[in-house]
Every structure is written in C-alpha cells, then in structure tokens.
C-alpha cells in the first residue's frame, strides 16, 4: 500500500467517527508513523509504505477514531511557534490561550508565576520570549509537573522553576506577572464537550465542579499577597464568565480590571493590576 492509498482509506474512517479535519489528521498521523516532518509527506505518497510504519499508522488511526486527541497520539502540540510534549496528564494547549500570551507580552515583567501550569506552555512561552525573565510554574499534579519540566528541557528554558502547589499554598514571594489558565468549565457543561476533551483530557484541569469559578475565587483571594506593586494578574476564563470574574478581581482590590476577547470575539482573559502602594 502506498501513502496515497493509505490516506484514501483513512480519511473516510475518521470522517465516519465524527472527527473534524479528518484529512489533516490522517496526514499528520501518517507523517508521525513514518517519522517524517508533515511538509515532507508529499514526497513519498507514491512509494510503498514500510510494513512497520503501516502498522503504526493503522494503530494510531484506530486511536483517533476513538476520538483520542491527536496531540496525545503523536505526543506533541505546536503552541506560539514552539513544539510542546503532551500526555494524558495535561491539557492540550489551545489557540485561544495565545490571547493571554499575546496580552502578557505587551507588558513589562521580570518575574512571572503560572498557576496550574500543566504542560508549561504559557510559562515557557513567556520566558522564551523574554530571555531576561524568570518564572515559577505550579500545579497540583506531579505528573503534569513532570511534563512541564520535560518541556523546559526540550525548549532550553532553564529559567523556569516548578513546584507542586494548590494555587498559592506553596508559593512564596511576589511576581511582576501572575498568569493562569485554571479549570473553569461548569459541571453542567461537561456533557456537552467534544469527546476529545470530555473523555481524554484530565478532568482536574477542566472543571472544579459547580459553577466553574472556584479557582478564580481562590486566585483572586490570594493574589495581592503575591503580586508586586503595579503587577498584573491575567486569568483565562469561559466566554460567559467575564463579568463574574471582573467582580472578583475588583473585590480583591485590583485596579484597571478589564476583559480581553479572543480571535473569535469571545471573552477569554480577565486582567487586573495591583496598586502601586
């Protein structure tokens, strides 16, 4: 079987399973099975596939048809132009989270704290873009911290430290910038999520239960003890949570509280600044 023939049978299989972007995913899975860069795949589509590569392709295709996320199958995901290692223990970094990164990079900061760091995508991107900055990433999950530390090594960002902590519980000191993509999905919304998210990603990183806002309450409640004077807090939110989280930030004593929209014009990030005094 040639590469082109393998793709011709794979795409309908993924489409029948309800996979969006079936053709794209089939090509990425085939490139992964051949250990090729995706842009090199076209060069070998008319060649017979090695039996071992074809077997890998079929096995991974079956996993994708089960709606296992592509990033978990191939073990990586591109975020802000860099490749991050991804496992079942961390969220798949999403394009909308780049809204937070873009806004943070418009600010001056020499130190950053990433609460609930997961794969480390936010923290390591910020530090890679700011070579003079240092940062701390925290997570309640030891398995997630292992992934983040691996990504720090792979991306050669030695200025990142990692610590197991439940929000601010294990954090000392103050930071110019505090960022977080906390679990914010309400319990009532979980059933409506795509199978790739609902059935495969770690629920502890998706939802805290209830209305989804308890992590934001914890972050707002402890933030002034850890923000430097004039420092900024940025938190990713669900599209309907902007007003509620803004109210929390203002009640906590933050100033200049605003909500930023993602590229789809949905509320995505709430930010606020600590007083200068």
Q: Tell me: the pLDDT tens digits for 90-103? A: 999 999 999 999 99
Give the pLDDT of residue 277.
75
Same domain? For 137 and 234 the reply is yes
Residue 209 forms part of a structural domain: yes
pLDDT tens, residue by residue, 161-174: 999 999 999 999 99
Q: Which residues of the chain have pLDDT under 70?
A: none
Our count of domains for the chain comes to: 2
Same domain? For 47 and 147 the reply is no
- For residue 229, the domain's CATH number is 3.40.50.150
Residue 26 forms part of a structural domain: yes
Same domain? For 264 and 137 the reply is yes
Same domain? For 37 and 8 the reply is yes
Residue 40 forms part of a structural domain: yes
Residue 71 forms part of a structural domain: no
Same domain? For 12 and 126 the reply is no
The pTM score is 0.94
Of 41, 66, 91, the last residue of a domain is 66
Residue range(s) defining the domain that contains residue 187: 77-273
Distance CA 9, CA 65 (A): 13
pLDDT tens, residue by residue, 53-84: 999 999 999 999 999 999 999 999 999 999 99
């Amino acid at each position: 079987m040639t590469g082109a023939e393998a793709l011709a049978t794979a795409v309908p299989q993924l489409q029948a399973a309800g996979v969006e972007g079936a053709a794209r995913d089939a090509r990425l899975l085939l490139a992964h099975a051949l250990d090729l860069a995706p842009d090199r795949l076209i060069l070998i589509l008319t060649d017979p596939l090695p039996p071992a590569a074809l077997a890998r392709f079929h096995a991974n295709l079956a996993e994708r048809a089960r709606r296992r996320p592509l990033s978990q199958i191939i073990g990586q995901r591109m975020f802000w132009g860099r490749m991050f290692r991804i496992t079942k223990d961390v969220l798949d970094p999403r394009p909308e989270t780049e809204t937070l990164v873009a806004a943070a990079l418009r600010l001056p900061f020499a130190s950053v704290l990433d609460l609930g760091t997961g794969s480390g995508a936010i923290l390591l991107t910020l530090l890679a873009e700011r070579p003079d900055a240092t940062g701390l990433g925290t997570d309640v999950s030891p398995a997630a911290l292992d992934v983040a530390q691996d990504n720090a090594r792979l991306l050669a960002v030695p200025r990142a430290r990692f610590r197991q902590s439940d929000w601010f519980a294990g954090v000392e000191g103050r930071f110019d910038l505090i960022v977080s993509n906390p679990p914010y999905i309400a319990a009532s919304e979980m059933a409506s999520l795509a199978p790739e998210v609902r059935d495969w990603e770690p629920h502890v990183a998706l939802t805290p239960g209830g209305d989804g806002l308890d992590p934001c309450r914890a972050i707002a409640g402890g933030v002034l003890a850890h923000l430097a004077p004039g420092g900024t807090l940025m938190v990713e939110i669900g599209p309907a949570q902007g007003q509620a989280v803004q109210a929390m930030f203002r009640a906590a004593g933050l100033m200049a509280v605003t909500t930023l929209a993602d590229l789809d014009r949905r509320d995505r990030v709430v930010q606020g600044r600590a007083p200068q005094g």
